[in-house]
């Protein structure tokens, strides 16, 4: 029974490490995706989807930021919201919570369900 508990703890720790890596830059997201591709840890997959959603949101804000004046304003405030969402997602990964990031987290789950 003890070996089963150790294996479960190891699997949870691997998933936690991959989940945390997913939130550290785009390169971290790619590394986490590759690391999780072999074993398919559901906890890591959940946070990879959340991080991918944040990356797509950041890209969209960058495109909107190219629009003069109104785009700059949206981009300015959107970046603060994006940073807030990123911090909450990272804290959830560190604390072993499978909670969606605020505002769009449930949509990220829906949009990236195949990942």
Pull the structure tokens for residue 90. 């990272």
The pLDDT of residue 14 is 82
Residue 7 has pLDDT above 70, yes or no: no
The SS3 assignment for 65 reads: coil
pLDDT per residue as tens digits for the range 75-113: 999 999 999 999 999 999 999 999 999 999 999 999 998
Mapped onto helix, strand or coil, the DSSP state of residue 18 is: helix
pLDDT value of position 40: 86
pLDDT digits (tens, 9 = 90+) for 11-40: 778 889 999 999 999 999 999 999 998 778
Query: In angstroms, what CA-CA distances link 77 with 36, 57, 105?
Result: 33, 13, 18
Q: Which residue has the higher pLDDT, 60 or 7?
A: 60
Query: Of residues 78 and 10, which shows the higher confidence score?
Result: 78
pTM equals 0.86
């Amino acid at each position: 029974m003890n070996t089963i508990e150790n294996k479960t703890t190891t699997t949870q720790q691997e998933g936690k490490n991959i989940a945390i890596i997913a939130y550290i830059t785009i390169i971290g997201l790619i590394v986490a995706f590759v690391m999780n591709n072999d074993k398919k840890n559901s906890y890591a997959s959940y946070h990879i989807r959340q991080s991918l959603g944040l990356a797509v949101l950041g890209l969209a804000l960058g495109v909107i930021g190219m629009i003069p004046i109104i785009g700059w304003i949206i981009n300015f405030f959107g970046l603060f919201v994006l940073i807030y969402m990123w911090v909450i997602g990272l804290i959830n990964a560190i604390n072993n919570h499978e909670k969606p990031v605020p505002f769009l987290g449930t949509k990220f789950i829906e949009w990236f369900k195949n990942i």
